[in-house]
Copies of this chain bind each other. A is one copy, B any other.
Amino acid sequence: MSIQCPTPHEEDAVVLLGHGAGGRLTAELLDHLVLPAFGGSAGPLEDAALLPGYRELVVSTDSFVVSPIFFPGGDIGSLAVHGTVNDLAMRGAWPHALSVSLIVEEGLPLADLRCVLTSLGKAAQDVGVPVITGDTKVVGRGAADRLFINTTGIGQRHGRLHPSAALARPGDAVLLSGPIGLHGTTVLSTREGLGFEGDIASDSRPLHRLVRALAPLGESVHVLRDPTRGGLAAALNEIARDSSVAVEIEEGVVPVPEAVASACDLLGLDPLVVANEGCMVAFVAPSAAEEALVHLRSLPEGAQAVRIGEVVEHNPRGRVTLRTLVGARRIVDMPLGEQLPRIC
């Protein structure tokens, strides 16, 4: 489906779940509809934007629609803090202030709302970021699904850290701070009652301290990205596209927890496209790779950090390749849509 315009097709075209999934459909929607409407360019889309006129300030916004609103390892409240804090962190920024805006369905038990807000408040306190303003809207029964939360964050950049999705360079080491697939499979399993939710929990957690740990490496840190919607596959493809480089990763070293692998097998999912909320990829200059791993591993949230690949010269630009366990290479495509709606 194309959403280029004006086309005769558009009259019948509607928004699909996949348009919000962080894959190719999302990119099409952004390129052909959202950005032109705002007069934006089709440049690299970062997790957070620089605030014009304030070199050190970055801004990020996210609406959270995860279903169910409670899941092992977190809830929509803590997720709304972690998600936005992490988007700021991926621009090398420390969280400075947060706004919180609620859309509540009439009939939501006040006890549930209190539980979510208490969790949100605790997550913000753990991060050390103040909630400075907010808004609450209520819509009638059936006009929303329980509770949606928007968080917008303002962050202050660490002096020497200026990562961008456009700065990957040939030779860069690709680091991953922890295991993948936990958030998406946990939420899906909880929602569908698949029975894995006893064995796994979302990795939802703030990553700003990991980023601060990398600050001494300064400009050797080229790219930071947390692989949320669309998973590691989408994150690496975005970086490869925006930096116009080829990325190769090694299947054998990408940490996939056993329960995640089982759930993905059952569901026919590739763990590489499953959303995460508590790990990040870092592209760093090869000379800094070992030191970066040491810094990452110095914190609990980075204890399992590994080098999963590198930026290579010989592949077509914009392509992501996986060296499989048997030594073959396969292309890691940008996911089209998402098999997992409302994961965040």
Which residues of A pack against B, CB within 8 Å? Answer: 3, 5, 10-11, 13-21, 26, 29-30, 33-34, 37-40, 48-53, 59-65, 67, 96-97, 99-111, 113-114, 117-118, 120-121, 124-125, 130-140, 142-145, 148, 150, 152, 154, 341-342
Contacts and interface: CB of A to CB of B under 8 A. Distances in A.
Contacts of A135: 61-63
A34 to B, nearest CB: 6
A308 to B, nearest CB: 27
Given A114-B37, A131-B38, A108 B14 contact: yes
Contact of A34 (B19, B103, B136): B136
Contact of A133 (B60, B96, B130, B142): B60
9 contacts: A5-B114, A10-B114, A11-B111, A14-B107, A16-B138, A20-B138, A37-B114, A59-B99, A61-B135
Given A38-B124, A48-B133, A108 B342 contact: no
A45 to B, nearest CB: 9
- Copies per complex of this chain: 2
A61 B106 contact: no
A342 to B, nearest CB: 6
Contacts of A26: 136
A13 to B, nearest CB: 4
Contacts of A10: 110-111, 114
A103 B148 contact: yes
Contacts of A152: 59, 61, 99, 101, 150, 152
A110 B13 contact: yes
Given A17-B106, A104-B20, A145-B144, A30 B139 contact: no
Contacts of A52: 96-97, 130, 132
B51 A97 contact: yes
A138 B97 contact: no
A202 to B, nearest CB: 18
Given A19-B136, A59-B154, A53 B106 contact: no
A61 B120 CA distance: 17
A112 to B, nearest CB: 9
Contacts of A11: 109, 111
B15 A107 contact: yes
Complex A-B, nearest 10 residue pairs according to Cβ-Cβ distance, in ascending order = A20-B138, A37-B117, A49-B133, A61-B99, A152-B152, A143-B145, A150-B150, A37-B121, A49-B132, A38-B131
Contacts of A117: 33-34, 37-38
Contacts of A136: 19-20, 26, 29-30, 34
A133 B20 contact: no
Contacts of A145: 139, 142-144
